[in-house]
Amino acid sequence: MPTKKQSAPVKALAKAKAPSDAELKAVLGKASAAWSAIVRTLEDKFVPLDRAWKPSKLAFGRVCLLQHKKRTLLYLTPDKGQFWVAIVLGERAFAMAMASSLPAAIKKMFSGAKHYAEGTGIRFAVTSMSDVAVIAKLVEIKTAPK
């Protein structure tokens, strides 16, 4: 039977404290505008859009999950002057993405990614507003009705 000391760290890993707006802007720098644009874009399409912060081993120490009705749409990981976006597509969404007008670089990432039971995932850095439309398209494909 686990002791209290053994079970406490497991509970601590489940959630992480959300950063303040100032803390987030300080680490993101110029990429802060793209972060805000992605969140606003998804908030317009998915009500409610929940933000869940989880611990991460990367420098910032936390990752933000954008979720709609407990379904994770994508992961945002703050980094110095940029942030990382990770998204996992199921088999049907993967096929749709490969047949879509997404940039060749995104399709290449998906083609080279490992396929798992929960889907195929990619992760890429976002440094500018030009990536917002691509990310919105990926989430649109992921959530397309059957």
Q: Is residue 92 part of a domain?
A: yes
CATH number at residue 119: 3.90.1150
The tally of CA atoms less than 13 A away on the side-chain side of residue 18 is 8
The pTM assigned to this predicted structure is 0.86
| Residue 124, CA distances (Å) to 7, 12, 18, 44, 59 in order | 34, 27, 22, 23, 16
Q: Is residue 84 part of a domain?
A: yes
Structural domain for 120, as ranges: 22-142
Number of structural domains (the chain) is: 1
* DSSP conformational letter for 144: -
Q: What is the pLDDT along the chain (146 residues), one digit of tens a residue?
A: 444 444 444 444 457 889 999 999 999 999 999 999 999 999 999 999 999 999 988 788 899 999 999 999 999 999 999 999 999 999 999 999 999 999 999 999 999 999 999 999 999 999 889 999 999 999 999 999 98
The residues that bridge with 85 in the sheet, in sequence order, are 76, 124
